Structure 1
């Protein structure tokens, strides 16, 4: 490759960097960070792990920071064998997050378009389109950082797969292995699963083509190359995959154990999975961003008709200013949204152009995948298909928020659009002029049709009912504003379609030179995308010391932290949807999409009820909490209901870290376990499933047992009991990796009271040690290191071989 041929690629990289500087200026130039809720919640969940790593240099593979204890695999675990971390950093030019992921998304889609031999400068525009759509940027703003990381690598993986079917086997292997390794490293299996759906659609059309053309040897050769590449990519992440798979069987993504959870026999609860489902008309936000009013709450101008209407009703300037900062503009089907998924008006025009100009299976597999992604995003609003997928398609019921399947059309629709531009450029203008104008008329006409239709729409949202009949005038003002937003953006999209289409028209008509036309086209894309993106990712989202402000130690925290013991805290304020408590304390609650299945059962059937009773008791001034057995057995020593020191109550009825019981209540199945738990005193009796564990029959001895040292991966106790006894520990039972030792000899860990660990302890004084050393981590880490080394050698060797081979051919010529 000579320098001249590299110029377009250098230009693309430079422009991608410049656009990232513009989008994330406060990060680069003002030392600010994004205020991202999920990132901050994750920081709370991570803190015990981070502290342990800093203190010991080891990994805390288990954490008590959330849900009374859970594996740390899906929270924050570092792998010494994960050399792909350095590849990721190099490819993203060491840019800070989230700019690094936006840059990779642009570069990845650029590579995909180059695979299709699209003009590099046009491919540059495609990269901008993929990295600047609001589906991507809203995910960045929300802090779904692993999601955007996985989305960013999808095009590169697809590019490698397509190269294999074009018989470019060396580059197909290198690109697929490398991109797949980085895709899986992103640790968002849901997005990777959606990538698999795209690949399955593509593969099905390739198989049909092989059958028709009798090209089975080429088909299976491509499959063989890709299998080897994927296996190599997977090997660099095998520890992550192994631990996630192992834990998944015990999380809410795995099978239910209670017969009452009939819909969750192999995955998530259906209602939970489909809670965020797009409305049937929601994909029109691809074309018109404010089709459904934008975000659930949007700031409205003080000069708007809504603000003027409030003033006319007698509202003061302060009241108006307060109200217009959070107007419920969204009127779609989702319970909450951070903003619309805008693909770009010009991109929709290009997609329609592609459906008209592109021929053969190349068009049809992209259309099929696009439709599949949209239909899947409808979720519960299209039950016939989506409930079937949920119940019968392998693995589909492991994931929630099905609106996320729009990741599929956000890849396939722009791809078909730019293939349409390629076809337009390469074809005879006289032959395709009418088709071009047809695509332009359809897309632009659709915007105008929406304007006309808006006068017959009611713009009624579910949130309107919360304002009540007495404020009907306010609801009417809000609906009028929604209509105005709708029409304004419809005209806006019409303008950009005409602008983008006009540039292409004059280019093909010979009125504009190619470089100027492409430059104008890219500018049109930027002034379409950036202002809409800035509605949801702007300077207001950035602030200095985001983490320090969010986790500022309160008086309540300081009071609790005076206690040096190992204990748990129950935050009564939304405990199961926040991890702020976890930053400083071991928490009964937490914030995670894959908590343990049994713990969720405990929340649903016992903890919630005990919390309700506890709140009522505290309101009456009674602080005797001895009746709340489940919370007490979890070592809930402190109850927190605010940030002041006086808003913390010490629970003197907590059972502590471990205790001996006098009785065993034997049951036969999980249903009996959790039901019986509500009928016994956990301080005196243990409930054990005798169909799974052998239990001692006879008299049990009480005794003393104390926690002597605590670490996430190791707990050491000292016991003293006159006769054989059964000790219960306020630690969550997990069968994969935890081992117990009594005076150095391994002992069987029992599961008691549905979620706790228990040990039969012989008479006398003993040291008891629990240690967490899962084979999936240690063996997986070794395999990851070996796979990563092989991947680096293959990439470097393949690139070297390619250049040497090319130079030899040039010298022979």
Structure 2
């Protein structure tokens, strides 16, 4: 007989959910109690990029799939597309209990890690403490604060994927299959393939150990069966997201993450530029922030107390209270290798202590899997500070060169290290105390010893930062800042030492039966919260929450009002950091924007022509010159308005903008993209177009003039009327993209030509014609149907497995 369904068995799981919700209310209480939202830069920039897409959806009920809001036009796949076939979004809402973003992601991270620990047979109450460690580390919460919501969503589902895989290898085939398929569907739906790629490293290392084990035990058929089940589960998870994957893959080939177009680009084999990818690389010693958060001085700029030695030193130099208060709010305390950081990646002193304990008490493949994966993640995060290995990975490991900010590989140890730590603590609890207490002393000694070393070392290290030379010849100020860095390291090293000693003491007294097991677990959980939350609050606190953040950020300026009096289709150039902001895109079509995967050709256009033209334009404006007729690339993008401030008078109408479309008289033919982009700088774009004749065939070299007007504009459909006495070549100020755009003249499909390196053109016969462009990517329409079917199968399997589990738990 099977046991009856027992509510008592659910008690720890219900408690876990309740406790995780409470902790999230504490962490994000302004979100719940004050009607505030997080002031997240990436979210705000994303809102600017999304706006045209959202407005089109609300007005028509259909997806735009393309937007002119940024970079003169690009696919909307990686910006904001809703998929009717994505039924897993309803599952996301259910498992996050309807919590608002970003609290929902922190909750799911805690719950998923809790489930993973249960799979490894960790006591449920101890697993709750593990959930705290995974969801409250600063790597996760700093990402939340920055608005990297897709990233934190992907991180939150990683433990569920591992839980499903482990269950399947334990011959829990039904549960393992369903959980793996569901978790993979949720993981991929987060739309952050870089994190999913790093999860693959963890899974591959796990799989290697399982293969070795199967060879040793001669169980290869069973191994093959398990792999087959997992492959089907993963394929089902992929199927539930195939449209997202397909469109992202398709667009990726044309983005800066795809193959270079120009031979002068060193990344001719595809992928990102190496310097760009490794720009954010951890220093060799930077992982010590896992243990001591202020080892490298915290964030690039930290607020320091008015009672600090730095403030006292400023007073002695004669600085007034106002000057001191202003300076201590943003002191350049960071002295590591990264160009900028929002804060340290703090894994937790107790988690590090437990990780070392796990290394000592856990035996077999599980230990080595998690240790190797952790080390790999750390080594990869070093980037160009460990060239020998990381350049090899970048150049030869499939897909690795598609991703930037390699410091993000700390995702791997931030999952694997606490996992081994809590498995180790559970093993210590389960085994003979007399045999394991030495391991406790060794682990505590190693980690506490490290803290003591850096407390002592803080009096001897130099704490030189890359920003120090920028302070000029003020040696006394540099010395004060370096003393502050030393004090910050020393303070946090001592702080971590205390937590290690306290956690070790609790475990020791539990082993000696001086404290009951569940009291000890409660104390460990409490210590983790007291350790994590204050450090997290340094970077995610009440000051990060504001009322009506979006409304304030996108408040319509007088400059916007003036431009919006024009109800036509045009583009705007914001001279204030145009290629790293998307606020302009909220109200206008922009030639700039904010996105990590802009089109490769458009990036080339920025580097070869746009940036130099913008610099020249600015210099001209400073000299009082408002004649923009020489800026051929800016003009061919229909840049009708130049904006350099928020006032109405800080907008200039560009009378030289070429409009939405125009007929050219001459066609200059070249044979390579290199020749095309070079020729673009030497032509009059109003009268001449450049075409790569090795890719597009046009018989004529000269054409008759004509007129063409835009009659109707939508992001995914443009309608023109043309009139020309003879055959003509019309150039459109729209970005060329071959996967989805179709052109029709009087209802008949015609070939779209690529001219001027990035724009579209059509050969138009003599007469009066209706010209229409439609964006109808098959990857979206077909992919959406496959997603719908796969999602239905997945949901049916989930419901079926739940029904089977409940039925099995009853008396038969």
TM-score normalized by the length of structure 2 = 0.99
Q: How many residues align?
A: 808
Q: Residue 552 of structure 1 corresponds to which residue in structure 2?
A: 555
Q: Distance in 2 between matches of 1:363 and 1:207?
A: 16
Give a deviation string over 1:329-351, Cα, whole Å, max 9, x none: 11100000000000000000000
Residue in structure 2 matching 1:268, options 269, 272, 276: 272
C-alpha contact 1:663 1:686 (8 A) present in aligned 2? yes
Q: Residue 460 of structure 2 corresponds to which residue in structure 1?
A: 456
Residue in structure 1 matching 2:98, options 79, 89, 94: 94
Q: Distance in 2 between matches of 1:581 and 1:621?
A: 24
Matched, 1:349 2:323: no
C-alpha contact 1:165 1:218 (8 A) present in aligned 2? no
Q: Distance in 2 between matches of 1:253 and 1:57?
A: 32
C-alpha contact 2:280 2:406 (8 A) present in aligned 1? yes
Q: Residue 569 of structure 1 corresponds to which residue in structure 2?
A: 572
Offset, 1:265: 2.3
Residue in structure 1 matching 2:620, options 614, 617, 621: 617
Offset, 1:696: 2.6
Q: Residue 36 of structure 2 corresponds to which residue in structure 1?
A: 32
Matched, 1:431 2:435: yes
Give a deviation string over 1:729-777, Cα, whole Å, max 9, x none: 0000000000000011111000000000000000011010000010000
C-alpha contact 2:559 2:647 (8 A) present in aligned 1? yes
Matched, 1:502 2:505: yes
Deviating above 3 A after TM superposition, structure 1's stretches of 4 or more consecutive aligned residues are: none
Residue in structure 1 matching 2:665, options 662, 666, 670: 662
Once the two structures are superposed, the pairs formed by residues 702-717 of structure 1 within 5 Å of their partners are 702-717=705-720
Q: Distance in 2 between matches of 1:256 and 1:521?
A: 52
Offset, 1:803: 2.5
Matched, 1:599 2:613: no
Matched, 1:185 2:197: no
Matched, 1:633 2:641: no
Once the two structures are superposed, the pairs formed by residues 706-745 of structure 1 within 5 Å of their partners are 706-745=709-748
3-state SS of paired residue (2:579) = helix
C-alpha contact 1:702 1:721 (8 A) present in aligned 2? yes
3-state SS of paired residue (2:294) = helix
Q: Residue 477 of structure 2 corresponds to which residue in structure 1?
A: 474
Q: Residue 768 of structure 1 corresponds to which residue in structure 2?
A: 771
Q: Distance in 2 between matches of 1:694 and 1:736?
A: 19
C-alpha contact 2:510 2:517 (8 A) present in aligned 1? yes
3-state SS of paired residue (1:624) = coil
Give a deviation string over 1:627-669, Cα, whole Å, max 9, x none: 0000000001111111111111110000000000001111111
C-alpha contact 2:291 2:349 (8 A) present in aligned 1? yes
Q: Residue 802 of structure 1 corresponds to which residue in structure 2?
A: 805
Q: Distance in 1 between matches of 2:783 and 2:267?
A: 33
Q: What are the ranges of 5 or more consecutive residues in structure 1 without an aligned counterpart?
A: none
C-alpha contact 2:752 2:761 (8 A) present in aligned 1? yes
Q: Distance in 2 between matches of 1:802 and 1:482?
A: 56
Compare 616-625 and 749-758 and name the one that shifted more: 616-625
Matched, 1:278 2:286: no
Offset, 1:264: 4.5
Q: What are the ranges of 5 or more consecutive residues in structure 2 without an aligned counterpart?
A: none
TM-score normalized by the length of structure 1 = 0.99
Residue in structure 2 matching 1:333, options 307, 316, 337: 337
Q: Distance in 2 between matches of 1:694 and 1:155?
A: 53
Once the two structures are superposed, the pairs formed by residues 503-542 of structure 1 within 5 Å of their partners are 503-542=506-545
Q: Distance in 1 between matches of 2:610 and 2:635?
A: 10
C-alpha contact 1:598 1:754 (8 A) present in aligned 2? yes
Q: Distance in 1 between matches of 2:19 and 2:222?
A: 38
Q: Distance in 2 between matches of 1:273 and 1:50?
A: 31
C-alpha contact 1:264 1:270 (8 A) present in aligned 2? no
Q: Distance in 1 between matches of 2:41 and 2:6?
A: 46
Q: Distance in 2 between matches of 1:368 and 1:434?
A: 24
RMSD: 0.7
Offset, 1:266: 1.1
Q: Distance in 2 between matches of 1:648 and 1:465?
A: 38
Q: Distance in 2 between matches of 1:60 and 1:473?
A: 58
C-alpha contact 1:286 1:343 (8 A) present in aligned 2? yes
Give a deviation string over 1:461-503, Cα, whole Å, max 9, x none: 001111111x111111111000000000000000000111111
Q: Distance in 2 between matches of 1:522 and 1:562?
A: 59
Compare 615-624 and 755-764 and name the one that shifted more: 615-624
Q: Distance in 1 between matches of 2:523 and 2:436?
A: 22
Q: Distance in 1 between matches of 2:444 and 2:171?
A: 36
Residue in structure 2 matching 1:151, options 151, 155, 176: 155
Matched, 1:700 2:732: no
C-alpha contact 2:380 2:407 (8 A) present in aligned 1? yes
Q: Distance in 2 between matches of 1:536 and 1:629?
A: 46
Structure 1 181/35 Cα, relative in aligned 2: closer, same or farther at 3 Å?
Answer: same
Matched, 1:112 2:113: no
